[in-house]
Amino acid sequence: MMNQLHKEKPMNELPVMNESEGIVLFHPHIPETAVEAVTSVLHSRWIGQGPRVAQFEQEFSERFGGNGTSIAVGSGTDALHLAYILAGLQEGDEIITPVFTCTATSIPFLYMGVKIRFADVDPETLNISVPHVRELINEKTKAIVCVHYGGLPCDMDELHAIAKQYDIPVIEDAAHALGATYKGKNIGEISAFTMFSFQAIKHITTGDGGMLIIQDNSIVQKAERIRWFGIDRSNKQKGTWENDITEVGYKYQMTDISAALGLASLHEFDQTLAYRQQLFEEYKKGLTGAQGIRLIGDHSPDRTHAAWLCTAIVEKDRVSFMRRLRENKIESGQVHYRNDRYSILGGRQDNLPNMDAVEEKYIVLPLHLKVTPENIQYICEVIKQGW
C-alpha cells in the first residue's frame, strides 16, 4: 500500500549530488559579515532571545512591514502556527489553503484540529486559483491562506475581496517571496499576517528561523506571550513577577545567534535579491524559443518576482529530462509536492484538475548565489538539445 498515490516511479537511481560534481539545486547563502556577527554574539551575555532579536525585528519591519510589527520565531512553521492561533482559528473551523506548497503550510492545522479545504493551482503561475477559492468558500471558512509560489505574488486584490465579503483574514505564507512586491507594495504589508522563513535555503537564512509580520498592532503583545510559554517576558525580566499564565504558549522564540545571521543577511539583502532576479532573467532569455518547456511566473506587469525558485513545465517525460540534466552535471527536482498526497492531510482530492494536469510536469532548476549567469546559459543549452 505504500506510496500507492505516487504514480511516477521514484528516482532512486540518481544519487544525491555533491557540489564539487556540478551545479546543485540549492545552496545556503551566508555573507562573510555573518561569521563575525555570530562570533561576537557567542562572546556576549545574550545568546538566546536578546537585543539582536529585537534589532532584527525592528529592521525587518522597516524594510518589509509597512506599519506592522515583526515577531521573530524559531522557524517559518512556528510563524504559521502563531498566525493561525492569532487569527482565532478553532477546532472544527475550516480554512482554504493551496494544495501545492511545502507541508509546513498545512501541518499546523493538524495541531489545531482545523479542517483543510485544498484549493487548486492557477495553471499559469501555480499560485492559488482564485476561481477555486470562490467555489470553496462558505460560512464555515475562517481564513484564506496563500503561498507566493517560487516568489511570484498571488492575486492579492481578488483574494482580499473574497475575504472581506466573509469578514475573514488572509494569511500569507511568503516563505518564497522575501522582497517581492504587488502593485507597488512590499509583500509583508498587505495582509493581516505574513510569514517568512529563514530555513537553510531561503533568501535569508538564520540556520532555521522565521518571522511573522502582524498588521494589527493591538495583538502584538499576545503574539509575544504565545511565543514564550504564555508569559509576558519583558515584565518578568524586571525582577519580581507574580502573574498568572492564562494562554497556552509555545517555545517559539528566535535566538540572538540566529538574529545575528539574519541581520548580516538583511544588510546585503538588496544585492542578494537583485542577483537572484538577474539569474531568473537569464533563464527567461536562455529558454526563449526552447521546445517543450515553459517557465512559470515569468510575466507579471503589476508585481515583482522574488526569484526564489525557477520552475518550468516540461510537456513530456520529466524523468528523462531530469536524467538528461544530471548526465550533464545539473541537479533539478520537484521541491514541493501536492499536499493531498499525504495520508495525514486527508489523502488525494478529486477536485483539483489544474494540479492533476501539472503534477508530473513541473521541474525546479538551480537558482542561488553560487550559480552564475554562465551556468544558466549552459543549463539552457543542455535543455535546448532535447531530452
Ligand X SMILES: *Cc1c(COP(=O)(O)O)cnc(C)c1O
Cα 300 to the chain's mean position, in Å? 19
Pick 126 or 175: Cβ nearer ligand X: 175
- CA 48/CA 103 separation, integer angstroms: 28
Per rule CB under 6 A, is residue 345 in the interface with ligand X?
Answer: no
Pick 86 or 383: Cβ nearer ligand X: 86
* Rg of the chain, C-alpha, whole Å: 21
Q: What are phi and psi of 236, to 5 degrees?
A: -65, -35
- CA 367/CA 27 separation, integer angstroms: 9
Shortest CB 77 distance to ligand X, Å: 3
- Binding track, positions 242-281, relative to ligand X; x by CB under 6 A: ----------------------------------------
Per rule CB under 6 A, is residue 81 in the interface with ligand X?
Answer: no
Per rule CB under 6 A, is residue 173 in the interface with ligand X?
Answer: yes
Torsional sign, CA 320, 326, 332, 336: positive
- CA 294/CA 338 separation, integer angstroms: 20
Among 37, 41, 95, 102, binds ligand X (CB under 6 A): 102
| Nearby residues of 286 by Cβ (< 8 Å), 6 or more positions away | 376, 377, 379, 380, 381
**Residues of span 198-227 touching ligand X by CB under 6 A:** 199, 208, 210
**Residues of span 127-166 touching ligand X by CB under 6 A:** 147
Per rule CB under 6 A, is residue 75 in the interface with ligand X?
Answer: yes
Per rule CB under 6 A, is residue 69 in the interface with ligand X?
Answer: no
- Binding track, positions 105-124, relative to ligand X; x by CB under 6 A: x-------------------
Among 65, 76, 108, 150, binds ligand X (CB under 6 A): 76
Query: How many C-beta neighbours within 10 Å does residue 239 have?
Result: 6
Residue 262: all three cell numbers together: 539574519
DSSP strand pairing (193-197 vs 170-173)? parallel
The residues that touch ligand X, with contacts defined as CB under 6 A, are 75-77, 101-102, 104-105, 147, 173, 175-176, 197, 199, 208, 210
